[in-house]
Structure 1
């Protein structure tokens, strides 16, 4: 049976919002930059080779993604507005829309990502272990439509 790989990457630590600044504009902190670089190095060490990279439009997600992709030597990052502030159901729809790619990297936010991991691996959205900033959950699941409880965690890493 064919399998599909999904690499979920939570954005690294971001600066606190300045007064009046929108959440979506928050940039990575110095700590976050180091976390993103570490995530990129870890993914390169583990031979990550995404066919498609989908990223939230939030500044902290884009900056995390750019740093990780620089380490991987990959340049095709697609802005995906549906990832920002997404529920697990929304994230599944995004992934289903890209079912033609065997390995998809999705860069986004909590609580959506950690809840998605729990739903896909355990079949329940309330049993997750959490995803710290900069964390990677690398899942393997059967090709086709994404269903709860069908994924296996291939790797789980955080800086």
Structure 2
């Protein structure tokens, strides 16, 4: 069984005047949420083998806080995760079928839309992922990364 862990970035500061969305940092609350996410992953023995992370500052800071608790692993900043559609995310995940447990740190609406798409093939019924939220999806054996192929095994938020 392979696992895909989706982590939405924690709460970020609003953009300042002239500040690009990519440059928004975590807020103090967001840092606490990211640390709580790392603790939850570690307590549940959900340590990733590899991480794909959006290049946005808030996702990088979320990941840094998480890995500071869980321990460091292979990681790659992936431009495609920022502002990604579920289709883009599936493509990125499918490119890493060599990884047993992949963590993707990204944004809504892509992450919150990806969960029902992978679990039941739905593209319109999703409930959201709060900041710092984690969804753990499992794939049996060598199942393809495609709509309806996954099982949502855990969902957590700070």
Q: Shorter-chain-normalised TM-score: which range?
A: over 0.9
Where do 4+ consecutive residues of structure 1 move more than 4 Å?
none
1:1-159 superposed matches below 5 A: 3-142=1-140, 143-159=142-158
> Structure 2-normalised TM-score?
0.96
Deviations 1:94-129 (A, max 9, x none): 001111101100000000000000101121121112
Q: How well do the aligned residues superpose, as a CA RMSD in angstroms?
A: 0.9
Structure 1 unmatched ranges of 5 or more: none
Encode CA deviations 1:76-108: one digit per residue, 9 max, x unaligned.
321111000000000000001111101100000
Unmatched 5+ stretches in structure 2: none
Give the superposition deviation at 1:144: 4.1
With normalisation by structure 1, the TM-score equals 0.96
Tell whether the 8 Å contact from 1:99 to 1:144 is kept in structure 2 after alignment.
no
After TM superposition, the structure 1 stretch with the greater mean CA deviation from structure 2, 69-78 or 57-66, is 69-78
Task: Number of aligned residue pairs: give it.
Answer: 157
